[in-house]
Structure formats: C-alpha cells, structure tokens
A and B are shown apart, each in its own frame.
Chain A
Amino acid sequence: MNQRKPRLLWLLLLLPYAGLLWVPFYNGRTPELLGFPFFYWYQLAWVPITALLTWLVYRGVRDDGA
C-alpha cells in the first residue's frame, strides 16, 4: 500500500492504550448492550477494534522488511 506516511500510521497502535487505560471513562453500567453493562461491552469491543487497527498498520508496513 501507500508507504509515504508510515510513521503516522504507527500512531494507530496507541489508540487501544488510550481507550483502555483511562478507566474512569468506561467505568459505568449504562448504556447497556444485549444485557451487558457498559464496562463489559466497551472493553470487549476494543478486541476487534484493536485487531482492525493493527491490521491497518500491518498493511502499511509489511513490505518495508523492518
């Protein structure tokens, strides 16, 4: 893929840290989803989001041989 700005792409890897380490942001019960309090589904949602972000970075860097 486009390799002109690989360094900016790497910043995507920091998003899961921001999303999960700022605990007060998600320490609540509402809104619920399918019976799951917010605290639980929010963290579970970060699993596919993290995989997606990592995949985006992978597409951008896999050919650079680093």
Chain B
Amino acid sequence: MTAPDVDGVALAVFAAFFVLVTVMGFVAARWRRPATLAHLDEWGLGGRKFGTWITWFLVGGDFYTAYTIIAVPALVYAVGAYGFFALPYTIIVYPFVFAVMPLLWREAKEGGHVTAADVVHARYGSRELELAVAITGVLATMPYIALQLVGMAAVFKALGLHGELPLVVAFIVLAVYTYSSGLRAPALIAFVKDTMIYIVVIAAVALIPAKLGGYAAVFEKADAFFTAKGAGGLVLDPSQYIAYATLALGSAFAAFLYPHTLTGVFASSGPNTIRKNAVLLPAYTLLLGLIALLGYMGHAADLKLASNNDVVPALFKSLFPSGFAGFAYAAIAIGALVPAAVMSIGAANLFTRNFWKAYVNPRIDHAGEARVAKVTSLVVKVGALLATLYLPTQFALDLQLLGGLWILQTFPAVIFGLFMRWFTAPALLAGWAAGLTAGTLFAIADGLKPLHKLVLGDMQFTLYVGLLALVLNVVVAVVANLAFAHRPTARPHGT
C-alpha cells in the first residue's frame, strides 16, 4: 500500500493528528455528559444545548467541508471567475439563516422535533409530505458523504498512500466513534479541525504569494493561463451573469435545508445562538474566499496536475516544508470526518423518525429511537464507503449536483409554513413532485450540468437548474392550492 514517494515527516504529523481526533471522538461521549445517551435528543442533537461557540465550530466545520476545500480551488483553477460563485453563495446564506432559522428552531423545540420532516408532519399532518421531505434529505445527503471520501482520498494520494485501505480504516474508525458518541463527537472534533484549517489557510495566503511574487503576479499568471487556453478568465463573460447569480442564490436557499446543516441548527441552544452565529459564521466565508484563490496560486506555481482536484494538495506539497504539509493534509482529512459524521447522523435521524417510527414501530421509546439511529448511521457510512470504492467518482459528483437540486425542492414545505399557513399539504406535495421531476429531467437532458438554457421569445439565458425547478415548484403549488378546495386559512404561526 505504501509507495516510495511517501514523505515520512508529513506522514508522521498526519498520523499523530489523526490519532488525536480519534481519541477525542470516543472521549466525546463523556463531554457535557448527559444523564443518558439513549435518547435521540442526546445522541442525535447533543441535547439541544450547544452555545454560540460550539455551534460556530460545529456548523462551520460541517458546512465548509473537505470537499469544499478541494473542489472550490479546483474549479477556480480550471475555469476562473465562475468558480468563485461559492463566495457570494456563502455570504448571502447568512441573512437568510438569521431571519428564518430561529423560527424553525423554535417550532422544532416546542414540538420536540428532530428533523425537518418531523416539523412538516406536525405542521401539515401529512405522512406523504413528511416522507417526501425525509426521502429527499437522505438522497441528497448520501452522495455528499461519498464526496467527503473523495476529498480524503486526494489527501491520501498526496501523502503517497495508495490503495483503498487508508480510506477504509479512516472511515471505520469514524463510524465507530459516531456510533458511540453521536453528535458530540463531530462537535468536539470540529474545534481541532477548524483551528487547524484556519492555521493552514492563514499560512497559505500569507506565505505562498510571497514565494510566487505577490498577489498581482498570481492573478497575472492565472490570466495568462486562461488567455492561452481561450476559455475561462479572471472576470465573467456577460453570458455567465445570470448563471453566477442564480447559482449563488439557489445554493444559499438549499444550504440550510440539508439534514447536516439543520442538525447543527437544531442542536443549538436557542434563537439568539443562531442569530449570533449568522453574524459570526461569515469568518469562514472569508477563509473560503482565500482558499478559492489557491486555484490561481496553482497556475502561478506552474503545477502540472493529473486532476484538477489535486491542486490544493500539490500546492501544499511543493511550497510547504513537509512537516507543515502533513499538518495541512491532516486538517483536510479531519475536515472530511466532521461533516461525514454529522451527515450520517442527520440521515439516521430522518430514517428513525420519519420512516422507522412512522411505519415500522410507532410506539418506539426514546432509547429504541437512539438505538435505531445509531445502527442506521453505521449503515449509511458503510453504504457511502462502498459507493466510493465501487462506483465511479463521477457518479457521486453527478448525484451531489442532483442532490442540491432535490433538497431545494423541500424549501416550500419546510420554510413557507413559518410565515403563512395558506398552502395545503397536497399542493406542496404536487409542487415538490413537479420541481423534482422537471429539474431532474432538465439536468439529465443537459448532460448533468447545473445550468439550463432557457429561451423566451428571442431572449435566451442560462440559469441554475435548481432555482428554475424551485420556481416551477412554487407555481405548481400555488395553482394546485387554488384548484383544490382548501381549509380556511389558519392564522400565521409564531409572533
């Protein structure tokens, strides 16, 4: 499994940090020790008591994933400015979180809900709509977990570890401590992960441009590359304006509908914790913007890459001393563990509450729920591991793209009800089905690209297919709601 290109120092540093977080993962079961972990509120939501700082590390660690750190610079490296849409996306997501998520937290807390599908079921009394939201959540999350493994594999490759064994070992260790400690494990590990990532990125953006002749030189080299290639560039082509803006907006609306991000929100101690986090989480966005620039630094350093995804590891390898490169790789690999753990917990919560409890054993007690969720989290992780080992990576990428489109279709069911009770369950279900089907068909017809070209008369523009599907979703829901004779409107919920 090891090859001659293994760097001993880097590998030793990497291994030391990996062992450290493994120990932390198991110790986490005792951290902020509850009376019992045999309750889904404890195992799956950490007791809903995480304060501002724990939430900041947990949501930051779980939203800005290892895959982000690998893929965003890779896209910027390949196409330039267009890849930067992740920046406006992760800025405009926070005013939305600030305004909306405290209301959702309150509704979940008051009803004892663990998942978005629980909230929807209680609000609309519809098992069908609940199931639609739950299935969408699980389907959207599975490929996301697989992509964390892709991020980890890129790091193992840079360390000179080939073959599948390192990945299998890392994931089994992760699966076991998530099983025993629940959400407390990634919450505790997130402190280490995020601190390491901040150190790596600050070092990278300070040191690497100095070695490459400054930022002006970095941008200049990247510009020369795109000019020679005849595609991409440091600024957008006017035909990309709408694509750029709709990708940012659609991604921002989808981001906090995923089970893993919602788990972080529900696990927090209250509305003001969430609001404070909406103010503080943009610190990670600044980091992301700087990470994205690593793509241009790849051009300035004249890297020759087999795959765009290698740009960040290759940059660290060629410009950092090997001990610090090992530290940086560990940061990325641990950066994969935190979201993978939270994603599997989020998916397990959905399965337990909205499938097992709804259809298999409605009279399940709290300890039983925790047991089912723990086993499910194992199954989910093994499934993602097998998918990564036996299916082409492209399959996970395509599914993750579709996953974003799908999860966005739960927006009306999950969010609209916070502000109005006009919509009925059948109408929301019809909208969900229409958006999901049409969006998937568009995406497949476009060769699994996120952008769809729309022609209206002699105008044509290209936009994010997920947002297009959401518009269709809402239109269908409104029409269906008007068509079905519906109950008298209840007054809006909340204040």
Contacts and interface: CB of A to CB of B under 8 A. Distances in A.
Nearest first, the 9 closest Cβ-Cβ pairs linking A and B are: A35-B216, A35-B215, A13-B95, A20-B88, A23-B241, A21-B245, A51-B282, A55-B279, A54-B279
Interface in B176-217: 214-217
Contacts of A51: 94, 279-280, 282-283
Given A23-B245, A40-B219, A66-B103, 6 more contacts: A23-B244, A24-B241, A35-B215, A50-B92, A58-B278, A65-B495
Interface residues on B, range: 35 or more
A55 B245 CA distance: 25
A46 B98 CA distance: 16
A39 B249 contact: no
Contact of B215 (A36, A46, A57, A66): A36
Interface residues of A, number: 37
B102 interface: yes
A27 interface: yes
Interface of B: 81, 84, 87-88, 91-92, 94-95, 98-99, 102-103, 214-219, 234-236, 238, 241-242, 244-245, 248-249, 271-272, 275-276, 278-280, 282-283, 285-286, 289, 293, 494-495
Interface string A31-66: 010111101100110111011011101100110111
A33 to B, nearest CB: 10
Given A43-B84, A50-B91, A54-B98, A21 B219 contact: no
Contact of A66 (B84, B214, B494): B494
A65 B279 CA distance: 17
A57 B99 CA distance: 10
A51 B218 CA distance: 28
A55 B98 CA distance: 10
Contact of B495 (A16, A27, A36, A66): A66
